[in-house]
Amino acid sequence: MSQSIQRTFCNRDCPDACGLLATVEDGRVTRLQGDPEHPVTRGFLCYRTQKFLSTQYSLQRLTSPLLRRGGELRPVSWDEALDFAAERLLTIRKESGPAAILHYRSGGSLGLLKCLSDYFFQLFGPTATKRGDICSGAGDAAQLLDFGLNDSSDLFELYCSRHILLWGKNAFVCSPHTFAVLRQARGRGARLVLIDPVHHRTASACEAHYQPRPGGDFALAMAVARVLFERGWTSPEAEGYCEHLEDFRRLAFARGVEEWCREADLPRAAAEDLARRLGPEKPAAILVGWGMARRTYGGAIVRALDALGAITGNLGLSGGGVSFYFRRRSAFDLSFLGGAKPPRTIDEVSFGRDLLLAEPPVRAVWVTCGNPVAMLPESERVAQALRARALVVVVDSFLTDTARCASLVLPTTTLLEADDLLGAYGHHYLGASRPAVPPPEGVKSDLEIIQALASRVGLGEAMAGSAREWKRRLIEPLSRHGVSLEDLERGPVRNPAAPKVLFAGRKFPTPSGKVRLLTEAPPRQPESEPDFPLWLMALSTEESQSSQWAEPAEGPAPVTVHPDSSSGLADGELAVLESALGALEVVVRHDARQRRDVALIPKGGHLSGGRCANALVRAAATDLGEGGALYEERVRLVPGRLSPRR
């Protein structure tokens, strides 16, 4: 028996981008471990990746192209599949122009070479694309507006923090290697506090947990700001590096601390405590959760947190900062993608509706690295819109909800077969993934698929090059720092251009060189809606983070509520979860640690299995960045069961 250990990286949609050691026996991966030499991974993996071998060798994995004939998807050869795709794309472009073709690429894989599908459709048209960002649009836009840059200090700067505020961030589930750093920071003296309506396991590492009303984060931040100003706990230098400081002060003083706190549904003591941690007891770091920005005024919430970091002097300070994202692409040369402007864009948030209403019609959609039916609001409408297209091509390893709507499904590689480059959005380390094993017969990489298609439509030369050759092209900025592809293949390399302390010297790449503080409050939202008393929150779990992780599950989805909010339903009882848009059959779970106005459901459930939370969520945009206000849907629990789906 032959055995080897192959080093590679996880490319799934997760901030950690872990280094992996894959034990290969006779051509099959038999064990996955975290790379002990990776400074962030440090030898352990999340539960999801530990269990990935069941996905890798699942009997449900696609190993042949599927073409829809007679209403059913049937296996065909690669030549037939690609000839069909090329002929249909050429015909649609000739008849209706490139604006009738939409390329949809999301974050299901974070490999940089996945961007080459963007390049192909740019050359082929340019064709239409999606716009906005369903996950992080509001937070990204907020920090770009405030700071001129959306990045973070080195992850290990948290060791220098006296206080760490986890504002809406469940690091235990969503960023487990950051959670390990947090625990080590606590061991070095840092004091952790969680601000989140939801009780989760991250609270176990924190000395305090404040549970504001969902969406009450802005009001809480304003209460904290007012305390900071009243106590003289702001930085005496803030005027020199902040725009609109006096306007922000007036905003904080527009209401009293108690009034702001009532809106947040927290006692004044919470605002006092957070102000003390940020002001006289700094350095303090605010780690901003991505889910919190998925509210109607998510951009305003993140801007308020940016302002707290700014006025207290925690920006440009070791152990301080306001961290929402790490610039994972900044080390790579993607300038070739900045070419022609697309003829039109389709809003990702209202994707189903806009696709159905588009004039002239979008006739073809190419989907890669995504499962929009499951991951976008109004899932049923997204599926309806896709099924109504003349051509839908989905590149995936499994028959997802989106693939079920396709004319053509093309099987692609998994993370253990990837040949790619990786940056992380939870730290500054980079890596080069290499195939631990070759893909099964009948499976091609995204690059191979695009190149085979390109050769059929006259773009073969433009898209030519092995994965390794494209990787060398993309790392040109790194080579100027003395980092080679071979260095990345040997193990993780810290991005040499990334700052250790972001905004050191308090210089900001804004037009004025200063932080732009917000000056207006968003409108107040209704605190209750009698017919639908619960806020629906679809959250990542240890078992699944987006639909790419979720094994097809049998039976109704669990919905967790406070016992007092269960409409008299017993723990474990079947019920129906209703919104103004639709209904799901669920299993009720009681948790007295939760607020009485939330209903928690696992994120990423499959529409085909009746477990998709987004089937209940209406499409609504955030105030900034064209993100999805996914946590604004109100629901209710009612006794009974749904009629079987036909």
Which CATH number characterizes residue 478's domain? 3.40.50.740
Does the pLDDT of residue 250 top 70, yes or no?
A: yes
Shared domain for 469 and 483, answered yes or no, is: yes
CA distances from 126 to 104, 120, 351 (A): 13, 9, 19
Q: How far apart are CA 293 and CA 306, in angstroms?
A: 13
Helix or strand (DSSP H, E) at 521: none
Give me the torsion for CA of 138, 144, 149, 150, rounded to 10°.
Answer: -10
> Token match 């009629």: residue?
643
Residue-level pLDDT at 242: 98
Instruction: Kindly report the CATH number assigned to the domain that includes residue 21.
Output: 3.30.200.210
Number of C-beta neighbours around residue 511 at 10 A: 9
Say whether both 348 and 290 belong to one domain. Answer: no
DSSP letters, 595-616, are -TTEEEEETT--GGGT--GGGS
Do 147 and 241 lie in one domain? The reply is yes
Strands 429-433 and 408-411: unpaired
Tell me: do 144 and 286 sit in the same domain: yes
Tokens 């589930």 found at: 173
Does residue 170 sit in the same domain as residue 279? Answer: yes
Same domain, 91 and 144: no
User: C-alpha 205: how far from its chain's center?
Assistant: 23
- Judged by phi (left if over 0) then psi (alpha if -120 to 50, else beta), residue 555 lies in left
Could you tell me if 310 and 359 lie in one domain?
A: no
Whether 637 shows a pLDDT value over 90: the answer reads yes
Which of 56, 81, 98 is the endpoint of a domain? Answer: 56
Total domains, the chain: 4
Would you say 231 and 207 are in contact if contact means Cβ atoms under 8 Å apart?
A: no
Given a cut of 60, whether residue 291 has pLDDT beyond it is yes
Does the residue 576 lie in any domain? yes
Element at 557 (helix H, strand E): strand 557-561
Last residue of a domain, one of 482, 516, 550: 516
Q: Which residues of 350-370 are buried (b: 16+ CB within 10 A; e: fewer)?
A: bbbbbbbebeeebbbbbbbbb
Give the mean model confidence (pLDDT) for residues 330-346. Answer: 92
Q: Which residue has the tokens 């209460």?
A: 223
Phi and psi, residue 224, nearest 5°: -60, -45
Q: Specify if 375 maps to a domain.
A: yes
Q: How far apart are CA 428 and CA 413, in angstroms?
A: 26
* Rounded (10°) angle between helices 245-252 and 298-311: 110
Q: Is 521 domain-assigned?
A: no
Verify that 301 and 162 share a domain, yes or no. yes
Pairing label, strands 345-347, 364-368: unpaired
Is the domain of 362 the same as that of 279? no
As a whole number, mean pLDDT of residues 250-271 equals: 98
Structure tokens at 338: 């900045």
* Residue with token string 């991505």: 290
Residue 90 lies in a domain: yes
The CATH number that applies at residue 593 is 2.40.40.20
- Per-residue pLDDT band at 476 (split at 50, 70, 90): very high
Q: In this structure, is residue 61 part of a structural domain?
A: no
Amino acid code (one letter) for 387? R
* Count of residues making up the chain: 646
* Amino acid 575: pLDDT: 97
Question: If pLDDT is split at 50, 70 and 90, which confidence band does 646 have?
Answer: very low
Same domain? 130 vs 179: no
Q: Can you list the positions of beta strands (E) in 79-162?
A: 101-105, 128-131
Last residue of a domain, one of 516, 546, 563: 516
Q: Record the tokens describing residue 371, joined without a space.
A: 């499962």
Give the rounded percent of residues in the chain with a pLDDT score beyond 90: 92
CA distance 205 to 126: 49
User: pLDDT per residue over 130-166, tens digit each?
Assistant: 999 998 899 999 999 999 999 999 999 999 999 999 9
- Kindly state whether residue 374 falls inside one of the protein's structural domains: yes
**Shared domain check, 173 and 200:** yes
pLDDT at 338: 79
Pair 360, 99: CB distance under 8 Å: yes
For 199, left (φ over 0), alpha (ψ -120 to 50), or beta?
beta
Question: 541 and 413 in one domain?
Answer: no
Residue with more model confidence, 236 or 548? 236
pLDDT value of residue 645: 54
pLDDT in tens, 191-249: 999 999 999 999 999 999 999 999 999 999 999 999 999 999 999 999 999 999 999 99
To the nearest whole number, what is the mean pLDDT of the chain?
A: 95
Domain assignment present for residue 522? The answer is no
Tell me the C-alpha distance between 524 and 539, whole Å. Answer: 25
Q: What is residue 552's predicted lDDT score, i.e. its pLDDT?
A: 64
Q: Which residues contact 539 (CB under 8 A, 6 or more apart)?
A: 170, 173, 198, 200, 291, 600, 601, 602, 603
pLDDT higher than threshold 80 for residue 334: yes
Q: Return the SS3 of 522.
A: coil
Rounded to whole angstroms, the Cα distance separating 304 from 521 reads 9
Residue 32 pLDDT > 80? yes
DSSP conformation class of 204: G
- Cβ count near 80 (within 10 Å): 13
Residue for token pair 């993370």 = 415
Here the CATH number for the domain that contains residue 284 is 3.40.228.10
Q: What are phi and psi of 560, to 5 degrees?
A: -100, 130
Q: Sorting pLDDT into bands at 50, 70 and 90, what band is 554?
A: confident
In a domain, 335, yes or no: yes
Domain of residue 587: give its range.
534-639
Task: State the Cα–Cα distance between residues 596 and 213, nearest whole angstrom.
Answer: 10
Tell the burial category of 459 from Cβ atoms under 10 Å away from its Cβ (0-12, 13-18, 19+): middle
What mean pLDDT comes out for the span 584-592? 98
Q: Give the per-residue pLDDT at 550.
A: 43
- Whether the per-residue pLDDT at 544 is higher than 80: the answer is no
